[in-house]
């Protein structure tokens, strides 16, 4: 392993700067509008315009791994609970009814898209959890209308198909009670830096900000818990260790694909909240890449051993945007992997970052002062994934990090990934690797892709 460090690093540096790709993939989405908020206090804005490198398959296979997996892809979508997506999945711990302040009510059929978000802040999540009663989701008129809804098999056919033929985890939780910011940090670091909630956007001052990171306006801060149990507001810019740093220590290449600064969805570019990446152009350009390029880069066989992918906002399945188009985007990514040389030794983990205000009936275990958060689905897709298995083991986002750590012989980051199981039980390493199973894109998507729908009609 260590004999390869110098040669691997030299090859990597050469290929990282050999390609500058700014065009979107064929058939890719148009650019999002420019943000309208105040300018960042930082004068520089090093938008990534590179790609991970030339063909990396031989390089990926050169690293010693515990299992036959040479590539991990961690794909994180937005704002759905297990009951909302897979509550009717055969053999899974799902329900089609929920509790609303002690009253049972059905989970009605959901829709692909709606005009309004529903509460899913930290305190909103605590109220929904209600000490384990799981009956406090009805917090606004929009929550009353949408929180107790559920999608069915015909509304997520590709996810459902891959769940039937791979592994679906039904005891998997978001890492933190609350919304995106802390959970995306857990997905790269097994901690949130003490943050329970998203950085504050002050109406009229920072509401138009398009970032949750070090490049945020000076007045946009996040509340963190201090070691003495108090709290304070700080810039959303941290220095804690991440999974990427563990990989760097072993000279194992990695990449994080996300929306760029001028695209909606940049708030999920988690490394923007790590000072040594966001404020170091070389580190940023070495590891951060435009998500519009991800399918092209997969087809070019340039993904490194470990890759995180977060989508454009419009394709994230955040409920204001069309779920059908979001599932199609995920299908394009997964199909590209399945049709590439990397499929033969890849593990794809697909999850949703937080509950998004939707109902779920399983009380999340509270293992520390931050979570777990509410239950979300996890799909494990791989030629080595067990076929048609519903996984009932306890897990959270740190479990995916533990899989990476154990596979590439890394250390751990925090008590979360030290205590997490590594998801190895979702694979059968002795089975004949399954052939790829790419799926066609859905043709039943309706409505706009890049703009939210019109306001809801009056309730009947």
Pairing of strands 71-77, 306-309: parallel
Q: Could you tell me the CA-to-CA distances from 7 to 3, 64, 254 in Å, in that order?
A: 8, 15, 17
In whole angstroms, give the CA distance from residue 258 to residue 274. 15
Q: Are 144 and 393 in contact (CB under 8 A)?
A: no
In whole angstroms, give the CA distance from residue 398 to residue 413. 10
State mean pLDDT over 13-33: 34
Sign (positive/negative) of CA torsion 134, 138, 143, 149? positive
The reported pLDDT for the residue numbered 456 is: 63
- The phi and psi torsions of 205 (rounded to 5 degrees) equal -120, -55
Q: Are 78 and 325 in contact (CB under 8 A)?
A: no
Pairing of strands 346-352, 378-381: antiparallel
pLDDT at 37 over 60: no
In whole angstroms, give the CA distance from residue 75 to residue 64. 24
Cis peptide, bond prior to residue 389, ω within 30 of zero: no
SS3 label, residue 181: helix
Q: What is the pLDDT of residues 39-72, one digit of tens each?
A: 333 333 334 345 676 567 788 899 999 999 999 9
Q: Write out the two tokens for 136.
A: 């406090």
Q: Are 80 and 352 in contact (CB under 8 A)?
A: yes
The reported pLDDT for the residue numbered 320 is: 87
In this structure, how many other beta carbons lie within 10 angstroms of the beta carbon of residue 314? 25
Sign (positive/negative) of CA torsion 193, 72, 120, 263? positive
Q: What is the pLDDT of residues 215-268, one digit of tens each?
A: 999 889 999 999 888 999 999 999 999 999 999 999 999 999 999 999 999 999
Largest CA distance in the chain: 69
**Host H or E run for residue 48:** none
The reported pLDDT for the residue numbered 155 is: 97
- Residue 238's beta-bridge partner residues? 274
In this structure, how many other beta carbons lie within 10 angstroms of the beta carbon of residue 351? 25
* HSE-CB for 178 with a 13 A CA cutoff: 22
Task: List the one residue out of 445, 225, 247, 234 whose CA is nearest residue 331.
Answer: 445
Q: Are 136 and 130 in contact (CB under 8 A)?
A: yes
SS3 label, residue 421: coil
The reported pLDDT for the residue numbered 56 is: 73
Q: Write out the two tokens for 57.
A: 């398959």
- The phi and psi torsions of 42 (rounded to 5 degrees) equal -80, 135
Q: What is the pLDDT of residues 130-176, one digit of tens each?
A: 999 999 999 999 999 999 999 999 999 999 999 999 999 999 999 99
In whole angstroms, give the CA distance from residue 179 to residue 126. 11
The most confident of 22-31, 312-321, 355-364, by mean pLDDT: 355-364
The reported pLDDT for the residue numbered 42 is: 34
State mean pLDDT over 456-460: 57
The reported pLDDT for the residue numbered 26 is: 32
Task: List the one residue out of 417, 313, 434, 341 whose CA is nearest residue 380.
Answer: 434
In whole angstroms, give the CA distance from residue 419 to residue 288. 29
pLDDT at 399 over 90: yes
pLDDT above 90: percentage of residues in the chain:
77
Q: CA-based angle 357:360:363, to the nearest 5?
A: 110
């Amino acid at each position: 392993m260590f004999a390869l460090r110098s040669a691997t690093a030299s090859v990597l540096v050469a290929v990282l700067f050999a390609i500058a790709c700014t065009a979107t993939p064929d058939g890719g989405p148009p650019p999002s509008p420019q943000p309208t908020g105040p300018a960042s206090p930082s004068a520089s804005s090093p938008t990534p315009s590179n790609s991970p490198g030339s063909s990396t398959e031989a390089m990926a296979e050169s690293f010693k791994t515990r299992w036959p997996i040479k590539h991990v892809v961690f794909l994180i979508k937005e704002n759905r609970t297990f009951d909302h997506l897979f509550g009717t999945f055969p053999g899974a711990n799902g329900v089609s009814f929920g509790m609303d302040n002690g009253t049972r009510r059905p989970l009605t059929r959901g829709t692909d898209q709606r005009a309004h978000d529903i509460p899913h802040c930290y305190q909103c999540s605590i109220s929904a959890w209600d000490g384990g009663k799981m009956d406090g989701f009805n917090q606004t008129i929009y929550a009353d209308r949408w929180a107790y809804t559920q999608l069915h098999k015909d509304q997520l056919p590709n996810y459902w198909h891959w769940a039937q033929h791979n592994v679906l985890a039904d005891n998997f939780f978001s890492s933190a009670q609350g919304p995106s910011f802390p959970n995306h940090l857990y997905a790269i670091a097994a901690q949130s830096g003490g943050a329970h909630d998203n950085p504050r956007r002050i109406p009229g001052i920072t509401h138009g900000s398009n970032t949750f990171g070090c490049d945020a306006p000076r007045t946009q801060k996040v509340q963190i818990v201090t070691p003495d149990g108090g709290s304070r507001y700080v810039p959303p810019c941290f220095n804690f260790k991440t999974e990427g740093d563990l990989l760097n220590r072993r000279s194992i290449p990695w990449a994080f694909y996300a929306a760029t600064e001028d695209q909606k969805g940049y708030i999920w570019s988690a490394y923007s909240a790590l000072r040594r990446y966001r404020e170091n152009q070389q580190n940023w350009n070495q590891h951060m890449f435009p998500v519009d390029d991800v399918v092209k880069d997969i087809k070019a066989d340039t993904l490194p051993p470990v890759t995180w992918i977060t989508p454009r906002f419009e394709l994230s399945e955040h409920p204001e945007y069309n779920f059908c188009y979001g599932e199609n985007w995920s299908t394009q990514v997964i199909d590209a992997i399945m049709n590439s040389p990397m499929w033969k030794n890849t593990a794809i983990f697909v999850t949703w970052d937080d509950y998004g205000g939707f109902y779920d009936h399983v009380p999340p275990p509270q293992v520390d002062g931050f979570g777990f958060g509410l239950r979300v689905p996890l799909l494990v897709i791989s030629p080595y994934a067990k076929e048609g298995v519903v996984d009932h083991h306890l897990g959270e986002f740190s479990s995916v990090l533990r899989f990476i750590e154990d596979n590439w012989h890394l250390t751990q980051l925090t008590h979360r990934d030290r205590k997490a199981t590594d998801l190895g039980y979702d694979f059968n390493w002795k089975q004949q690797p399954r052939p790829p199973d790419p799926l066609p894109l859905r043709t039943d998507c309706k409505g706009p892709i890049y703009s939210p729908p019109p306001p809801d009609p009056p309730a009947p």
